[in-house]
Structure 1
Amino acid sequence: MKRIKIAWIRTDSIGDTVLSMGMVRPVVEDLKKQFDGDIQLTVVCQEHIVPLYQVLPEVDEIIGFNRTELFNSEEYRREIKNVLTQYAFDQLIISLYSPDENTIFFTEHVYAKKKIGLDCDLSNITPEIKLKYLGLLTKVIPTSGHPKCELDRAQDLLDGLNVSEKHPGAFIEIPNEIRSWAKNFIDKKKSQKEKLVILCAGAQYDNRFYYNYGKAIEKLAQNETIILGAIGGAKDYEINQRNLMQVKSAKTVYNWSGDFGLLQSSAIIEQSCLVVCSESAPMHIACALNTPNVVLLGGGHFGRFAPYHSSTIAVSSFRPCYNCNWLCQYNNFPCVQQIPPDALSDAINIIWKQTQSKHPRILSAEQKQSSIKRLKRLVHRKCVFIEKEATDLSRDTFCNGSRFFD
């Protein structure tokens, strides 16, 4: 049986990886059939994301890189180029819609007979660099519509690769031993009556930082028996602590920022009853694990990365500048900073009482009909809009996103 060598390029972040990783298995299985051969898959990703791919049985090898050094160090780029000269692939697949200069670096310097990728946007590159990037590809897969849910873009990629299976959605693989560790760890921290709530106040970029999650969770803690744990990287310790200090009524509070690896943190999320976070990696991990989550959804990419999963209630407030690609004309990101904690508290109350939903839910922080109608126009998937006080669970309205697919 012939051996077909495939490179899978994924140069973006943790949340993007969780959204896209479910494509790996169907792509490998279909390529086996297309080539009538064995597939050897090499993944190119950032160093801190390597653990997510290491546990996938379809992945044979991983090339990890440091994003900052690759951007800034010519010496580091030479080192990576030397590593890449050892490889020759039959196909290179770039599975993201918003390439940056690092994506183009690997597209240019990884040798492959065929290089396949989506037509891309200009979120991270100039029109001139886009022309260069598309010129490096032997096949450009079209993806129409803007804005559009990221999962629909992924489906466009699968269709362009002639993969018969549909995209499974957000995905993460947690080994059984890590699941067992997480269960034992949490069981030792709480009684049977206590419920674990996870806070993730950090984000990759500080434009999504919010300093009132604690005020929203405090209302839950006043009425329910919870223990509260904050997770994230070591850099998230301060913002998590600042929010934790607002929660006076929780029996026990932990700041676990920097204490766990990526898979361990994911397993902790799986053990929780609720995750409260920004539009960032923990949201996608919670969706992949079907853990209820309340998300503060800013306007930078509204509808592109969230909401898409029935476990989510997204809290947002329409502004005319939505979908600005986080290039804020006000410089202080009011779409995040001016969300009242009471709106988050309402969403937490709803999801605590009614965890099950067929579709993602959106709670408008402004209960003006004009704001809600404008938010509905930006939704690309079936979702439920909550147009009422959280204590009344009877007046949700349904919105059928115009580009939803089954």
Structure 2
Amino acid sequence: MDIKNRKLFRLTRFVLLKLPAVFSFLALFRKPAKRLLLIKTDAIGDYILFRNFIEILKKSEKYKNHQVDLLGNILWQDLNEAYDKQYLNNTYFINPNSFYEAPLRTLKQAWRLFGNNYEVVLQPTYTRVFITDGFAALTGAREIIGYESDNEGIVPRYKQKTDKFYTQLLPLAPEHYFEFNRNVFFFETVLGEKIDLQRPYIKANAANKNGIAILPGAGAFKRGWEGEKFLELIKRLMQQTAGPIYLIGGPGEVQHGEFLMQNLPEGSVENKINQTTLPQLIDTISNSSLLIANETSAIHIAVATRTPSICILGGGHFERFAPYPVGTPGAPVCVYEKLPCYYCNWICIYKTESHEPFPCISTVSLEKVWQATLPLISTQQ
């Protein structure tokens, strides 16, 4: 949370911490409907690793007769509407961080959820955050299930209080460290049935995979490989392959794309950055023969659409999102230089200039990425 207006935040905090008791009391005087709320408000990649479980939940023996609603992130609204709308009754898309200094809007959203008379609320995100813990409690639902969680997304003094909002907090065993496996474990536990999924999947149309897609950004600048290295990599690809090369991504990749286009021969690369919707981005990746990217949602999209991929990987969330577990079908080829400080949750111990990536990224050499790339482009030469 990056709080600028402490007065407004204190009012929001009051709504999140004090009003759940009032809403729970009011809920005692009504009979819960057969209605369930899923809360999932993290980033696009997290949604890719989660979305298949919406269908599983809706078709499960336990909740097949329940109306299923979703409180999600506006970042991936169009993805949800394109692929998952048929499994949901109502959807609410928000920017979760925008509520911390908006107490009245927080109260209105809470009242809207409370009015739906949910019987069950499920929050399968392991790294819980303050705002969604509050929304879960403000539903007044009889059953609220989530993870015990860590403190990466919520400070301990708030988590100690919001833990009490849940009727069940699931502990996480060490063998479920990988994010997709955490989702499998959560829904197997809640539903009481075995889920046979090894990877995310998207039913995309890919008649003939062709070309190389490159996503040069990483959400946060310091988590991304240097533009100069991407530039040299693209030049090598142009010499070794005849197929098209695409630059892909969203608003966060615009500057990366401009740098590359300015330093590449005119017409040699097609710049699709910030030119596609999220479903169109998925189609581009699905129809590509190879994706090269930093650790971003694009890597998970590639796995889900069975597109070979190379992931240039740092250590902040190492093994939580990548590399995929050994044996995963279609897993990305991850290129990294493992440092003793890995698993730092991107709280870097090194001092770097604002224009420099973290050391765990900058130490990944062009040559190492190129050697990983060569076997995957051999069929395109």
TM-score band, normalised by the shorter chain?
0.7 to 0.9
Q: Does residue 6 of the first structure (1) align with residue 36 of the second (2)?
A: yes
**Deviation per CA, 1:264-315, whole angstroms, max 9, x where unpaired?**
1101110111111111111111110010111111000111101214341101
Q: Does residue 34 of the first structure (1) align with residue 62 of the second (2)?
A: yes
**Deviation per CA, 1:206-260, whole angstroms, max 9, x where unpaired?**
2212222221232121111132211211232111232345555x96312212111
Per-residue deviation at 1:4? 2.3
Q: Does residue 105 of the first structure (1) align with residue 134 of the second (2)?
A: yes
- State whether residues 119 and 142 of structure 2, in contact with CA within 8 Å, keep that contact through their aligned partners in structure 1: yes
Q: Which amino acid aligns with 1:74?
A: P
Per-residue deviation at 1:354? 7.8
Q: Which amino acid aligns with 1:87?
A: N
Q: Which amino acid aligns with 2:46?
A: D
Match of 2:75?
A: 48
Q: Which one has more relative contact order, counting CA pairs under 8 Å at least 6 apart? A: 2
**Deviation per CA, 1:99-123, whole angstroms, max 9, x where unpaired?**
1223223222223121011221122
Match of 2:268?
A: 252
Could you state the TM-score of these two structures normalised by the residue count of structure 1? 0.76
Q: Does residue 351 of the first structure (1) align with residue 376 of the second (2)?
A: yes
- State whether residues 323 and 332 of structure 2, in contact with CA within 8 Å, keep that contact through their aligned partners in structure 1: yes
SS in 2 for 1:263: helix
- State whether residues 199 and 276 of structure 1, in contact with CA within 8 Å, keep that contact through their aligned partners in structure 2: yes
* Greater displacement, 222-231 / 208-217: 208-217
Pairing partner for 1:220 from 209, 213, 237: 237
Structure 1 unaligned runs (5+)?
A: 188-193, 356-406
Matches within 5 A, 1:226-375: 226-248=243-265, 252-308=268-324, 309=328, 310-332=330-352, 333-353=358-378
Per-residue deviation at 1:71? 3.3
Structure 2 unaligned runs (5+)?
A: 1-31, 353-357
Per-residue deviation at 1:73? 2.8
Q: Which amino acid aligns with 1:270?
A: S
Q: Which has the higher strand share?
A: 1
Q: Does residue 86 of the first structure (1) align with residue 115 of the second (2)?
A: yes
SS in 2 for 1:151: helix
- State whether residues 212 and 245 of structure 2, in contact with CA within 8 Å, keep that contact through their aligned partners in structure 1: yes
Per-residue deviation at 1:173? 4.7
Distance 1:122 1:146 in 2: 20
Identity in percent? 22
Match of 1:60?
A: 89
Distance 1:305 1:160 in 2: 21
Distance 1:281 1:127 in 2: 29
Aligned residues: 335
Could you state the TM-score of these two structures normalised by the residue count of structure 2? 0.81
Per-residue deviation at 1:140? 1.3
- State whether residues 219 and 252 of structure 2, in contact with CA within 8 Å, keep that contact through their aligned partners in structure 1: no
Distance 2:290 2:129 in 1: 34
- State whether residues 293 and 312 of structure 1, in contact with CA within 8 Å, keep that contact through their aligned partners in structure 2: yes
- State whether residues 7 and 91 of structure 1, in contact with CA within 8 Å, keep that contact through their aligned partners in structure 2: yes
Q: Which amino acid aligns with 1:66?
A: N
- State whether residues 316 and 339 of structure 1, in contact with CA within 8 Å, keep that contact through their aligned partners in structure 2: yes
Q: Does residue 201 of the first structure (1) align with residue 221 of the second (2)?
A: no
Q: Which has the higher helix share?
A: 2
Q: Indicate the RMSD between aligned Cα atoms, in angstroms.
A: 2.5
Per-residue deviation at 1:26? 1.6
